[in-house]
Structure 1
């Protein structure tokens, strides 16, 4: 049986990259997927995430959502519950970066990264918990939250100070929510990707940066979005029992080296 059969899952930042991979994996595992993003077109090119899910016989809707705005996230959860009846999984993935160090970062850049990467996750977690508290537990769980953090939430993010700080905040937010809401039967975990090759532009795919990542990662290849999707699937499924407050590394052994 599919791991998420008939579950209802929201995935933010679902048009491209990690969010797209997670949404597609959830749909293949039987979930009704709510795709939240400020755009539909994938950075990688090709069909939209919703089109791919529907073509494969899955179920998905795509409410336009700016996670930095509470009103958008509130409407997002309302849309999910109105269409599918409940909310089982909330994946807070949407994020932006500036590729700037402390001195280079403007106040505007700082505020924007924090608004999306930290406040956006706060909005998603808070609104999801509000909904989950209205639901009866199923197999001891009212709902699951999966936050996408980063190895750069645990070590420095070279040349991208706002991003690293934002991801560190997500790690602590995950722990706090897990502790505060365990007795409510709400599960909250995070996935911390290492170097994952996606279609995002800029320094992330600079040849020198990729060479360094290859040398730094013990596993013979760098990560793929589907590697992260597999971890997000596990944490969203009933296979993950008695696991909450975890920041699960998906990094090819980078942090062990």
Structure 2
């Protein structure tokens, strides 16, 4: 039986990059996947995530969502439940960055990063937890939240002050939710990717940045989206039992060095 047979999952930021890889992997394992993003077109180009899922015989839908807006998040979960009956998995992946240090960061840039990367995660976690409590549990759990954090939630993100601070907040948010809501069957874990090579344009694929990451990573290659998708599959499945509040590193040994 597929690991996520008939599970209903929302993945934010699932049109591109890590979110896309997670959504496709979930669909391969039998989940119905709701793709939540501000744009349906993938940054990498090519077919939309939903088109790929449907072409492979899977089920899902796209819901245009700005996670920094409570009304959007509320509508996202409500629409998912109306269409598919419940919510089992919420993956909070959508995030932005500015590549600015403290002195370079404008108040507007700070506000926007925190609005998406912290407040947006708060909204998604809260709305998912509300839904989990309104439905019957399946086995030990009512639902699972998976927050995509970062290695830069634990060590500084050189040259990106708002992003690093926001990811530190996500790690602590994960712990808080896990501890406060374990008794009601809500599971909350995070995944901290190291350097993952995606189709994202700009500074993420700057040759100097990639060289730094290669030298910093013990494993002899950089990460790929499927590495994070595999961890997200494990945490979404019943294989991940008696685990909550964990910040699972998928970093090729970066944080061990």
Task: Tell whether the structures are fold-level matches, with TM greater than 0.5.
Answer: yes
* Aligned twin of 1:246: 246
Shift of residue 16, structure 1, vs aligned partner: 0.3
Q: Is 1:115 matched up with 2:111?
A: no
- Secondary structure of the residue aligned to 2:147 is strand
Look up the match of 2:136: 136
- 2:204 paired residue number: 204
Query: 2-side partners of 1:117 and 1:219: how far apart?
Result: 28
Mapped to 1, the partners of 2:68 and 2:26 lie a distance apart of 24
Q: Corresponding residue for 1:217? A: 217
Say which SS state the counterpart of residue 115 (structure 2) adopts.
helix
Q: How does 1:1-257 map to 2 (within 5 A)?
A: 1-257=1-257
| Deviations 1:187-215, CA, capped at 9 Å, x for gaps | 00000000000111111111111111111
Q: Report the secondary structure of 1:62's partner residue.
A: strand
Structure 1 residue 241 displacement after superposition: 0.2
**Structure 2 residue matching 1:96: 3-state secondary structure:** coil
- DSSP 3-state at the match of 2:227: helix
Deviation at 1:67, TM superposition (A): 0.2
Q: Distance in 1 between matches of 2:107 and 2:76?
A: 29
Counterpart CA distance in 2 for 1:240 and 1:182 is: 14
Q: SS where residue 174 of structure 1 aligns?
A: helix
What SS does the aligned partner of 1:190 have? strand
Cα deviation for residue 217 of structure 1 reads 0.5
RMSD over equivalenced CA pairs, Å: 0.5
Q: Which sits farther off after the overlay, 33-42 or 202-211? A: 202-211
Q: Secondary structure at the match of 2:9?
A: strand
Distance 1:44 1:2 in 2: 28
How far did 1:151 drift? 0.2
Shift of 1:136: 1.4
1:157 is paired with a residue of what secondary structure?
Answer: coil
Large movers: runs of 4+ above 4 Å: none
Q: Deviations over 1:120-171 (max 9, x none)?
A: 0000000000000011111110000000000000000000000000000000
Q: Distance in 2 between matches of 1:39 and 1:97?
A: 17
Counterpart CA distance in 1 for 2:136 and 2:50 is: 29
TM-score normalised by length of structure 2:
0.99
SS in 1 for 2:117: helix
Aligned residue pair count: 257
Equivalent-residue separation in structure 1 for 2:247 and 2:106 (angstroms):
30
